[in-house]
């Protein structure tokens, strides 16, 4: 089978067994902040009463295909996953927040270990944050930090700069104190110290409720402090201080180039990538020289695109020997293929002349962009500065403009103009196809159709239709049993498996008998091989002759197929969302408060 058929086979299994069986009988359990495991024999429960309504065609097909399996019982281990929603640190309005899914395994041991680490980091961060702030408010201690080294407290700068001032003996004392804090208490699992209680009753309390309140506040403050100290480190590293008026940070590397050419309001000196963070004037000058050259080339290239459109092209021959007229050379990227080899040689020779005809070593006028063309610069220093600043700004704009022109030219065949005129663009080839809807129109951000191949488009459209149909069936397979209930009786009489025994969603996968999987695969194979789906056939376009889904009238069929495409796209998003929610919560919808058995609780 083709790869699209293999994809169809994979997804259709979910769709068809979902159509009839995706329902669970929910039970409510309350997490007790302990993980317990029990082993029980899982026999087929009695079928609950259910109202049966008409289901989709897929549901009926699946009900048939699940009809046989040997009777038997299975033994499974039921693990009561615990909740962490009542632990310290859970605060409104977010509640229990674990976007990275660290607690998804439900392990209380892992949770306790991470909580212990969080407490330590939070406490250290609170001390570090206060260590930044306090000397600014209260001043520093009088006297000597190290009398033997003649180092006063007043000599130690605030922030990161203090690291280089701490004597070796000071680092030894710091490490010794940290070691004492770690080894002076038994911090093994289940001990008070493991939960953060080191017996300092100023920070905790003898009263359990008061201690709980204080520890919750400590967690919240520690989290805030972890964010604060990281922010202070960054600001300190960039500005030389962790706070204050930016105007005071005259020694920051970021201030070194604020008066250079190209610094303009309202952005000012803008270097989000941090290229100038090292404060190197040599590196800055080298990059400025490169920026000037790129800007000048881009301005020439931009004008080279625009000028021929406005003024027309030169008369006569570009290459008399080749019989090539200027009028024969198209505008834009298409001109590349028209330039004779001798022309490329002349272009390269001129570029080499510009590079070697001037001394561009560091500190020379040419290194700063002054090649002696006084039309572009000026003898007057102030006038020259103004023109060079304007040249930088125009060059930056031209660099953006020429890249935009390249992209538009490559996609449309021209770098500007009314989109309606670009009838030859590959992007216009599929604008009247099914699935093109307002307000987006034909939308292909990944550029799959940029090659203009109708064969590739038809193949992808065929695949899209199949995936959309499977996703619609699968989505209804999730929803329908919740609304109408399940079929009465047995899904597999020989296995003693009732429809009511099959849970809804992903959990149903483990319940499908082997014979059922065989029937699902056989039905999918039938759908694939019972029609001629080669290029150009009705089936290749999605018409399998089911006139309920299509129509004999061409216009009615077009409308229905367009709606089917739109609904299929929505269903593909919906079923993926359901899979994720089901995997995380145990159900594809409903009130989060009901999912007490989820690992996230």
Is a pLDDT exceeding 80 seen at residue 348?
yes
DSSP string, 350-365: HHHHHHHSS--STTST
What pLDDT shows up at residue 345? 93
Is a pLDDT exceeding 60 seen at residue 75?
no
Query: Binding site for chlorophyll a, residues?
Result: 97, 118, 121, 218, 221, 223, 235
Highest mean pLDDT (candidates 56-70, 565-579, 585-599): 565-579
pLDDT tens-digit readout, 40-58: 333 333 333 333 333 333 3
Average confidence score pLDDT of the chain: 78
What pLDDT shows up at residue 430? 80
Task: Decide if 471 contacts 570 (C-beta within 8 A).
Answer: no
Q: Which of 16-30, 247-261, 316-330 is least confident?
A: 16-30
What pLDDT shows up at residue 31? 37
Instruction: Return the residue matching tokens 């020694």.
Output: 251
What pLDDT shows up at residue 39? 35
CA distance 465 to 474: 14
Q: Which of 318-322, 453-457, 555-559, 586-590 is least confident?
A: 586-590
Task: Decide if 435 contacts 566 (C-beta within 8 A).
Answer: yes
What pLDDT shows up at residue 91? 83
Confidence grade of residue 192 (pLDDT, cut at 50, 70, 90): confident
CA distance 319 to 316: 9
Is a pLDDT exceeding 80 seen at residue 525?
yes
CA distance 190 to 492: 49
Average pLDDT over residues 282-298: 91
Q: Which two tokens stand for residue 202?
A: 């100023």
- Contacts of residue 255, defined as CB under 8 A and 6 or more positions apart, other chains included, come to 249
What pLDDT shows up at residue 12? 40
What pLDDT shows up at residue 163? 87
Task: Decide if 75 contacts 41 (C-beta within 8 A).
Answer: yes
In the three-class reduction of DSSP (H, G, I as helix; E, B as strand; rest coil), residue 455 is classed as helix
Environment class of 44 (CB within 10 Å of its CB; exposed 0-12, middle 13-18, buried 19+): middle
* E strand intervals along 208-250: none
What pLDDT shows up at residue 592? 65
Is a pLDDT exceeding 80 seen at residue 181?
yes
The answer to pTM > 0.85 is no
Is a pLDDT exceeding 90 seen at residue 36?
no
What pLDDT shows up at residue 453? 86
What pLDDT shows up at residue 72? 38
What CA–CA distances, in Å, run from 279 to 184, 252, 270? 46, 8, 14
Top-confidence residue, 351 or 416: 351
Average pLDDT over residues 574-578: 93
Average pLDDT over residues 246-261: 71
Query: Binding site, residues?
Result: 97, 118, 121, 123, 182, 218, 221, 223, 235
Q: Strand pairing partners for 40?
A: 76
Confidence grade of residue 408 (pLDDT, cut at 50, 70, 90): confident
CA distance 545 to 547: 6
Is a pLDDT exceeding 80 seen at residue 463?
yes
Backbone φ, ψ for residue 257 (5° rounding): -120, 20
What pLDDT shows up at residue 14? 36
Confidence grade of residue 67 (pLDDT, cut at 50, 70, 90): very low
pLDDT tens-digit readout, 332-343: 888 888 888 888
CA distance 421 to 428: 10
Is a pLDDT exceeding 60 seen at residue 324?
yes
Confidence grade of residue 597 (pLDDT, cut at 50, 70, 90): low
Is a pLDDT exceeding 50 seen at residue 518?
yes
pLDDT tens-digit readout, 76-106: 333 333 458 888 888 878 888 888 888 888 8
In three-state form (DSSP H/G/I as H, E/B as E, the rest C), the secondary structure along 519-562 is: HHHHHHHHHHHCCCCCCCCCHHHCCCCCCCCCCCCHHHHHHHHH
Confidence grade of residue 569 (pLDDT, cut at 50, 70, 90): very high
Is a pLDDT exceeding 60 seen at residue 28?
no
Query: Binding site for chlorophyll b, residues?
Result: 123, 182
Average pLDDT over residues 432-447: 81
Is a pLDDT exceeding 50 seen at residue 15?
no
Long-range pairs for 578-581: beta carbons < 8 A, 24 or more residues apart: 578/475, 578/478, 578/505, 579/506
Task: Decide if 232 contacts 150 (C-beta within 8 A).
Answer: no
What pLDDT shows up at residue 66? 35
Task: Decide if 47 contacts 499 (C-beta within 8 A).
Answer: yes
């Amino acid at each position: 089978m083709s790869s699209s058929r293999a994809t169809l086979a994979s997804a259709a299994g979910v769709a068809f067994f979902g159509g009839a069986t995706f329902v669970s009988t929910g039970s409510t359990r309350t997490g007790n902040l302990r993980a317990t495991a029990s082993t029980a024999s899982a026999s087929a429960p009695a079928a609950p009463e259910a109202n049966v309504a008409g289901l989709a065609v897929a549901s009926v097909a699946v009900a048939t295909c699940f009809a046989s399996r040997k009777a038997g019982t299975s033994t499974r281990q039921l693990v009561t996953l615990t909740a962490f929603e009542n632990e310290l640190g859970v605060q409104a309005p977010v509640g229990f927040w674990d976007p990275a899914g660290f607690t998804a395994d439900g392990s209380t041991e892992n949770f306790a270990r991470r909580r212990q680490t969080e407490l330590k980091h939070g406490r250290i961060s609170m001390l570090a944050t206060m260590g930044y702030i306090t000397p600014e408010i209260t001043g520093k201690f009088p006297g000597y930090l190290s009398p033997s080294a003649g180092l006063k407290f007043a000599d130690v700068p605030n922030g990161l700069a203090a690291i280089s001032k701490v004597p070796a003996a000071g680092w030894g004392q710091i490490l010794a104190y940290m070691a004492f804090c770690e080894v002076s208490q038994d911090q093994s699992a289940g001990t008070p110290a493991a939960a953060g209680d080191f017996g300092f009753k100023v920070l905790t309390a003898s009263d359990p409720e008061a201690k709980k309140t204080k520890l919750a506040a400590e967690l919240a403050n520690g989290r805030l402090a972890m964010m604060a100290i990281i922010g202070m480190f960054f600001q300190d590293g960039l500005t030389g201080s962790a706070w204050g008026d930016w105007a005071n940070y005259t020694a920051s590397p970021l201030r070194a180039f604020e008066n250079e050419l190209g610094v303009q309001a309202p952005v000012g000196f803008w270097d989000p990538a941090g290229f100038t963070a090292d404060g190197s004037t040599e590196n800055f000058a080298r990059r400025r020289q490169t920026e000037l050259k790129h800007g000048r080339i881009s301005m020439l290239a931009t004008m080279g695109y625009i000028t021929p459109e406005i003024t027309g092209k030169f008369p006569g021959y570009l290459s008399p020997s080749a019989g090539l007229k200027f009028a024969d050379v198209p505008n834009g990227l298409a001109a590349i293929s028209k330039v004779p080899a001798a022309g490329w040689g002349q272009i390269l020779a001129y570029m080499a002349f510009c590079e070697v005809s001037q001394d561009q070593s560091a500190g020379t006028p040419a290194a700063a962009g002054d090649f002696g063309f006084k039309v572009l610069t000026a003898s007057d220093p102030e006038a020259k500065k103004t023109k060079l600043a304007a040249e930088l700004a125009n060059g930056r704009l031209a660099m953006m403009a020429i890249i935009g022109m390249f992209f538009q030219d490559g996609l449309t065949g021209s770098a500007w103009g009314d989109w309606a005129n670009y009838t030859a663009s590959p992007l216009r080839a599929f604008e009247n196809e099914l699935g093109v809807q307002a307000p987006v129109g034909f939308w292909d951000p990944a550029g799959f159709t940029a090659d203009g191949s109708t064969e590739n488009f038809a193949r992808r459209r065929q695949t899209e239709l199949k995936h959309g149909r499977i996703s619609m069936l699968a989505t209804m397979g999730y929803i329908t049993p919740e609304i109408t209930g399940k079929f009465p009786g047995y899904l597999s009489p020989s296995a003693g498996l009732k429809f009511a025994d099959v849970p809804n969603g992903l959990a149903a996968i483990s319940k499908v008998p082997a014979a059922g999987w065989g029937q699902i695969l056989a039905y999918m194979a039938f759908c694939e091989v019972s029609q001629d789906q080669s290029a150009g056939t009705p089936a290749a376009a999605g018409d399998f002759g089911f006139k309920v889904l299509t129509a004999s009238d061409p216009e009615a069929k077009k409308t229905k197929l367009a709606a089917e495409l739109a609904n299929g796209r929505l269903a593909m998003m919906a079923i993926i969302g359901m899979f994720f929610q089901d995997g995380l919560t145990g159900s594809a919808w409903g009130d989060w408060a009901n999912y007490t058995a989820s690992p996230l609780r």
